[in-house]
A and B are shown apart, each in its own frame.
Chain A
Amino acid sequence: MSGENINSPFMSLESFVYKDPEPMLLPQTNFAAPFEAKYLAEDGEAIDPEAEEYVVFLNELQDDEFGETLYELIGELTSKFEGIIENESVNQPNYRGEMLRRLEMYVDPLIKATESMLETMAQGAEQTDLRTMSDLEIDEFIDSYVLSEEQQVKFENWGFFKAIKKVAKKAVKKGVRLAKRGLKVAAKFGFGFVFRKLKKVAMQLMKKVVATAINKLPIYLRPAAHKLRKRYFGKEVELEEGNDSVIDVGQLQLEFNIQVAELIFADNELALEMEEEHYHNEESGIANPIRELSQAREVFIQNITNLNDQEDLLPHVEKFLPAILPALRIGIKLIGREKTIKYIAGYVAKLIRRLVGSRLSKPLADAIVRAGMGYFQLEVGSEQNEARLAGTAVAAIVEETVRKVADFPEYVHEDPQLLEGFVLEAFEQAAAKYLPQLLPEEAYLKKPRLRHDIKYRGVWLSRSGKGKSIVFKKYSKVPRVKISPHKARAIKTFRKNRLNKFLQDQLGLPEGQTIEAQVHLYELVSGSMLSQITKFEQNVPGLGTASPVAYDQLLPLTKEVAGLLLDEPELGQDVVPRFLASQQIGEIGQRYYFLEIEGMRPRVSVEGSKKMLSRSSQAHAILDFPKNQAQISLYLNEREAQELTTQLRDHQTIGAVMVSLSELLDEQVKSAFSGYQLKLIHGSVMPNSTFTALKRVPVKLLERLTTNVKELLGRGLSNFIKKNYEKLIQIAADPADGLTFQIILKDPLGMTKIGEALAGRITPADSNTVDAQLFDIQIVAGYARN
């Protein structure tokens, strides 16, 4: 090795051979066809093999932990941003530019460290031939870059840095494989080029993260992604269903991943530059609809609060309405349809007339205060604030009505008579939500939907941050409930997990005890994050911070849950399954609850500098169609891992041990295969669209695969535990929380058929495929995914 390499930050590896830092142009040879077609598309056409490899790589890049990191970073920046606007006028010129500058300054240590890491890697790659390295050596090459102590103290949350490092590993490994076949940019320009491009893309992602923290835009799959899908699939591919998500970090990550995949798969530098340009420019066109909506709402509230009885309300509604639509994805279809908007504005103005004005605001505000008596006492207190309450409620009704109207089918918008009926219905539903029960009891008896609950009679109140923008909505009453063990078992939380497990594993409450809790109810609004809710709630014991320890205690309040927990189903809100996957993605209008339990202290796990609520036991599955195998990671949290090893130490029979494991296995595998923790590596499936893709699979096929996997796991795990008793006990003593079984099943029953169904070729459910072979089981300390 040359003396010049002595100061290299990388470890000395055998395959590191000094090369002149010349661009590595490989001789073009005739390679055998590098891609292999495996699937047929819906129309019977063969899927482009390169497209398949590309999509498979995208799937490899898609990483839930990266999503969590982005979510936390956005949350952190949001807190920082809110801290800044406390002291700044939001109306100052170049407000957004100034905010961007300050937030970028805040993340500067993170940016600099990431840039420096990728630049050093680029330099390292110019001096060594990465193409000759094995995967392990590539890992070592990249892992050898560590943060200095000096860098570490400058910032707290290094998740982004670590995530980019992980992406770099995957990208280089893929690039090496392609380069070995003489393909793509890496082969032509070398890995120094790849690292520098990756640096550029990572910095663009960071810019988007900062912009998201300020804008809180619902993130849509941007045109770049659409274009790519067209290029590789020759047509549009279905997106995940559901209404507007608030912040969907999965999509933000997907966009970034597409850039990384483009970098690795681009044929020439020009094509790459064009993509980058596109990715970069998307940001500059983004307006700030959430902030504009906040400002328009504020003006609307002030105007209607001071309105006198003779004054016309219509101009105020007409001014407010256009600000609501851009903040909604579904609202986009109404933008530009002036006539329809005018009509809706006119009708809505008529409907709210009886609620506004200087004379009417006061009685309405009094009623709202009465409905929220006690809880909101501290925040009301002055006449001005009380008057605002009425105005805010009316604004919320208008927004909710417009949101529902925007979602009406096309034929409703086209027919004024139909539209009137539907608008009235939407208005009544919104009014039931935001107004106290002011009507005589007979009216509610005649039309029960005019109120959403009988038991508590609260209202949903908007809670505003310092910049007057609405952070979330909270139900004015905090019901006190008793939760028996049976009830807790029946209530489902995220990913179909049961509440009793949450109480036991995350809140550390003893099993089998009836608990008494005060239930705080929340609703997401456009641009809000759960971490903002928890940060805002300074007086609720257990909340008051943006940490995952707090926001992971917010659980989804569907109608079913609201029925079981509160006896009032209408206090819940149903959403499509993907919004029940985790706290990191939610729909506008989605509801959550927090259990305030006297004396309860949540269980916390510490992983490096990251503190979070202890994980629940869970399974993650990857159906890897090109390899025709299923990979399952079965994580046992610390409690269950210790209980398992206690049973083993007590020399209990394997039967007794497996009985304890079987319920967990059954529930978690079922949950994973229903789409919550399932990754489909398949040429026809875009990452982050598992739920939509699974719709193409006949239910019976999926059930068969799930049953097959459960049986195989049961059989395989019992054998494994019998043989590895000592190792299990040893791993359970590791300081990392819990342990993970990593299982590979080769050719599980029904998988081929599912692959065909995903490609759009529905096959009958019968199959004569042979039973799968249990390929491999490994066990690792702590939480791991394949």
Chain B
Amino acid sequence: MREIEFIREQLSRQVNHWVLAANRLNNPNDLGSPDDWESLERYLRITLRRTLRESSQRLIQRAMRLQSELSVARTATDLKKVKKHIVEFRRTYLHTETTLDFYADTIATRGNPKIGDVLRVLDSLVFRSMKQVLDRLNQPTPNVLTYIDKGLGASILKAGLRLWDGGTVNPVAVIKIVRHNLMRPTSLVHEAGHQVAHITRWNQELAQRLESNLSTHPQVGKVWASWSSEIAADSFAFAHMGYAAIASLHDVLSGDDRFVFRFNRGDPHPLSYLRVLLGTAMCRRAYGAGPWDSLEHVWRRLYRLSSATPMVHKLVKASLPLLSEVVETCLYEPMASFGNRPLVELVNPERVSPIILLRLESELGDALYQSTHWLWTEALRLVALNGLQIAIHPEQMATLYSVQQEWILKLSNTLKAT
């Protein structure tokens, strides 16, 4: 009898500890400072807080159950069961903590008010890029939470995925923008493409189409099909951003020869060498000749196929004649995922052709960057325009970055109130 009481005492301490620990996770202000929370749009804040509260509430309820279980435990077997449940609870606690910490870390990147202001606009840009497509497909558009981090490329934790704790469904698309690209955010639209493809199930359909459209080279077709998710996101980014997306992608992929010709079976990312050429092929198909021709020319010169392994060499040789077919499939072929419409019918790349973008700027003049109406309605095209100008006037990059920053902060000021 005395032995049981000893065990109960030990378990009781642990249970009480975990009950209190779980309760501590319930305060949103412990996860991010009030200022960090304030930096989010209110819509996003409400959604996130609700999810985090639900996640911590689930944990608290579990902790309370553990407490009741212990209070009614009478025998050694009962206590053994409680002990087992404590161990399980610890695991769940850690998973929940990982989930909450993930959001806390992303929100904390807004601690710097200026970064917070920029990220608020980026949230909105990504949201709009998705909404334009999803609205027409009668699908809800998830909220977006962008955060800044180190690295070369952007990444996404898609909304709708189950998180580490096993119970929480990610309520928002959480997208990482890398520090060096903060003022050149076309990669975020690529990430938005992943989210849209996930919601519309486009990846699977595109894989099938690529495989069947490239059936003249079944082996090559299979490889391209395995890249469908990244190709889908690239196509989405191109349709929204035009040449800016391709130039930006080019700059991120311009590593050494090993990197450019690296091929890993199972890696959803296309061979970098082909990925850039696919981008320039998209530009040529949509806009004819242009600055992308020169980019392609230099790309081919700087990265000689002779540096590639024989297998990659063969893959590239076989793929090059198929690029136009891939472009047709991605951009112009009706897809069931899009209600039997091609991507270009939902997002017309013609709206971001260099001619149209430059005309937009020359016709609207100062009003384009000053008018809240244009900032609001043309924000995505402003990013495309700025990216285009960076691509064709790299010598003006510093000025162009500050122009971009200025209008982003102006727009951010209005978003702050929502």
Q: Which residues of A contact B (CB under 8 A)?
A: 508, 538-542, 544-545, 547, 549, 598-599, 601-606, 611-612, 614, 638-639, 641-642, 645-646, 649, 732-735, 737
Q: Which chain A residue lies CB-closest to B367?
A: A733
Name 6 extra pairs, CB < 8 A, besides A611-B416, A638-B372, A642-B374.
Answer: A541-B42, A542-B42, A599-B141, A606-B414, A735-B370, A737-B372
Instruction: Indicate if the CB atoms of B414 and A638 lie closer than 8 Å.
Output: no
Interface locus among B43-51, B201-209, B221-229, B386-394: B43-51
Report the 10 A-B pairs with minimum CB-CB distance, sorted nearest first.
Answer: A611-B417, A604-B414, A733-B367, A638-B373, A733-B366, A549-B417, A604-B417, A735-B370, A642-B373, A541-B43
A458→B183 CA distance, assembly (Å): 50
The interface residues of chain B lying within 8 Å CB-to-CB of A601 are: 41, 43, 124, 415, 418
Please give the distance in Å from A110's CB to the nearest CB on chain B: 22
The interface residues of chain A lying within 8 Å CB-to-CB of B365 are: 733
Please give the distance in Å from A175's CB to the nearest CB on chain B: 39
Interface bits B399-418 vs A (CB < 8 Å: 1, else 0):
00000000000000111111
With A542-B42, A545-B42, A733-B370 as contacts: A602 and B418 at CB distance below 8 Å = yes
Instruction: Indicate if the CB atoms of A605 and B418 lie closer than 8 Å.
Output: no
19 contacts across the A-B interface (CB closer than 8 A): A508-B376, A542-B43, A542-B418, A544-B46, A545-B42, A601-B124, A604-B415, A604-B418, A611-B413, A611-B416, A611-B417, A638-B373, A639-B373, A642-B374, A733-B367, A733-B370, A733-B371, A735-B371, A737-B372
B105-141 at interface with A (beta carbon < 8 Å): 124, 127, 131, 135, 140-141
The interface residues of chain B lying within 8 Å CB-to-CB of A646 are: 364
Q: Which residues of B contact A (CB under 8 A)?
A: 41-43, 46-47, 50, 124, 127, 131, 135, 140-141, 363-367, 370-374, 376, 413-418
The interface residues of chain A lying within 8 Å CB-to-CB of B41 are: 601
With A541-B47, A645-B367 as contacts: A603 and B376 at CB distance below 8 Å = yes
Please give the distance in Å from B390's CB to the nearest CB on chain A: 24
Q: Which chain B residue lies CB-closest to A539?
A: B46
Please give the distance in Å from B144's CB to the nearest CB on chain A: 11
Instruction: Indicate if the CB atoms of A599 and B127 lie closer than 8 Å.
Output: yes
Please give the distance in Å from B166's CB to the nearest CB on chain A: 24
A545→B366 CA distance, assembly (Å): 34
The interface residues of chain B lying within 8 Å CB-to-CB of A612 are: 417
Instruction: Indicate if the CB atoms of A603 and B141 lie closer than 8 Å.
Output: no
Instruction: Indicate if the CB atoms of A642 and B42 lie closer than 8 Å.
Output: no
Instruction: Indicate if the CB atoms of A638 and B42 lie closer than 8 Å.
Output: no
Instruction: Indicate if the CB atoms of A544 and B127 lie closer than 8 Å.
Output: no
The interface residues of chain B lying within 8 Å CB-to-CB of A599 are: 127, 131, 135, 140-141
Please give the distance in Å from A610's CB to the nearest CB on chain B: 10
Among B47, B50, B367, contact of A732 (Cβ-Cβ < 8 Å): B367
Instruction: Indicate if the CB atoms of B363 and A649 lie closer than 8 Å.
Output: yes
A539→B48 CA distance, assembly (Å): 11
A606→B415 CA distance, assembly (Å): 10
A638→B377 CA distance, assembly (Å): 12
A661→B246 CA distance, assembly (Å): 42
The interface residues of chain A lying within 8 Å CB-to-CB of B131 are: 599
Instruction: Indicate if the CB atoms of B417 and A541 lie closer than 8 Å.
Output: no
A545→B43 CA distance, assembly (Å): 12
The interface residues of chain A lying within 8 Å CB-to-CB of B363 are: 649
A606→B409 CA distance, assembly (Å): 12
With A542-B42, A602-B418, A611-B414 as contacts: A734 and B140 at CB distance below 8 Å = no
Please give the distance in Å from A729's CB to the nearest CB on chain B: 8
Instruction: Indicate if the CB atoms of A539 and B50 lie closer than 8 Å.
Output: yes
Q: Which chain A residue lies CB-closest to B143?
A: A599
The interface residues of chain B lying within 8 Å CB-to-CB of A538 are: 46
B124, B376, B413 interface centre (most CB from chain A within 10 Å): B376
Q: Which chain A residue lies CB-closest to B375?
A: A638
A604→B46 CA distance, assembly (Å): 19
A734→B413 CA distance, assembly (Å): 17
Please give the distance in Å from B287's CB to the nearest CB on chain A: 23
With A541-B42, A642-B371 as contacts: A598 and B140 at CB distance below 8 Å = yes
B46, B141, B415 interface centre (most CB from chain A within 10 Å): B46
Instruction: Indicate if the CB atoms of A606 and B42 lie closer than 8 Å.
Output: no
Please give the distance in Å from B378's CB to the nearest CB on chain A: 10
A734→B365 CA distance, assembly (Å): 11
The interface residues of chain A lying within 8 Å CB-to-CB of B372 are: 603, 605, 614, 638, 737
With A539-B50, A603-B376 as contacts: A734 and B370 at CB distance below 8 Å = yes
The interface residues of chain B lying within 8 Å CB-to-CB of A639 are: 373
Q: Which chain B residue lies CB-closest to A637?
A: B373
Among A544, A605, A645, A733, contact of B414 (Cβ-Cβ < 8 Å): A605
Instruction: Indicate if the CB atoms of A732 and B371 lie closer than 8 Å.
Output: yes
A600→B413 CA distance, assembly (Å): 17
A91→B42 CA distance, assembly (Å): 35
Q: Which chain A residue lies CB-closest to B131?
A: A599
Q: Which chain B residue lies CB-closest to A734?
A: B370
The interface residues of chain B lying within 8 Å CB-to-CB of A734 are: 370
Please give the distance in Å from B32's CB to the nearest CB on chain A: 17
A545→B141 CA distance, assembly (Å): 24
A539, A734, A735 interface centre (most CB from chain B within 10 Å): A735
The interface residues of chain B lying within 8 Å CB-to-CB of A603 are: 372, 376, 414
B135, B363, B364, B413 interface centre (most CB from chain A within 10 Å): B364
The interface residues of chain B lying within 8 Å CB-to-CB of A606 are: 413-414, 417
A544→B364 CA distance, assembly (Å): 37
Please give the distance in Å from B411's CB to the nearest CB on chain A: 10
A542→B43 CA distance, assembly (Å): 6
The interface residues of chain A lying within 8 Å CB-to-CB of B413 are: 606, 611
The interface residues of chain B lying within 8 Å CB-to-CB of A539 are: 46, 50
Please give the distance in Å from A377's CB to the nearest CB on chain B: 13
Instruction: Indicate if the CB atoms of B371 and A549 lie closer than 8 Å.
Output: no
The interface residues of chain A lying within 8 Å CB-to-CB of B418 are: 542, 549, 601-602, 604
Q: Which chain B residue lies CB-closest to A544?
A: B42
Among A541, A642, A645, contact of B46 (Cβ-Cβ < 8 Å): A541
Please give the distance in Å from A474's CB to the nearest CB on chain B: 17
A428→B127 CA distance, assembly (Å): 49
Please give the distance in Å from A513's CB to the nearest CB on chain B: 8
The interface residues of chain A lying within 8 Å CB-to-CB of B364 are: 646
The interface residues of chain A lying within 8 Å CB-to-CB of B417 are: 547, 549, 604, 606, 611-612
The interface residues of chain B lying within 8 Å CB-to-CB of A645 are: 367
Q: Which chain A residue lies CB-closest to B370?
A: A735
A540, A605, A642 interface centre (most CB from chain B within 10 Å): A642
The interface residues of chain A lying within 8 Å CB-to-CB of B414 are: 603-606, 611
Instruction: Indicate if the CB atoms of B371 and A638 lie closer than 8 Å.
Output: yes
The interface residues of chain A lying within 8 Å CB-to-CB of B370 are: 733-735
B42, B124, B366 interface centre (most CB from chain A within 10 Å): B42
The interface residues of chain B lying within 8 Å CB-to-CB of A544 are: 42, 46
A732→B141 CA distance, assembly (Å): 33
A639→B374 CA distance, assembly (Å): 8
Please give the distance in Å from B368's CB to the nearest CB on chain A: 9
A148→B376 CA distance, assembly (Å): 34
The interface residues of chain A lying within 8 Å CB-to-CB of B141 are: 598-599
A106→B414 CA distance, assembly (Å): 27
The interface residues of chain B lying within 8 Å CB-to-CB of A732 are: 367, 371
The interface residues of chain A lying within 8 Å CB-to-CB of B124 are: 601
Please give the distance in Å from A541's CB to the nearest CB on chain B: 5
The interface residues of chain A lying within 8 Å CB-to-CB of B42 are: 541-542, 544-545
The interface residues of chain A lying within 8 Å CB-to-CB of B50 are: 539
Please give the distance in Å from A649's CB to the nearest CB on chain B: 6
Please give the distance in Å from A262's CB to the nearest CB on chain B: 39
The interface residues of chain B lying within 8 Å CB-to-CB of A649 are: 363
A429→B143 CA distance, assembly (Å): 43
The interface residues of chain B lying within 8 Å CB-to-CB of A638 are: 371-373
The interface residues of chain A lying within 8 Å CB-to-CB of B367 are: 642, 645, 732-733
A612→B43 CA distance, assembly (Å): 17
A547→B363 CA distance, assembly (Å): 36
A612→B414 CA distance, assembly (Å): 9
Please give the distance in Å from B303's CB to the nearest CB on chain A: 42
A605→B417 CA distance, assembly (Å): 9
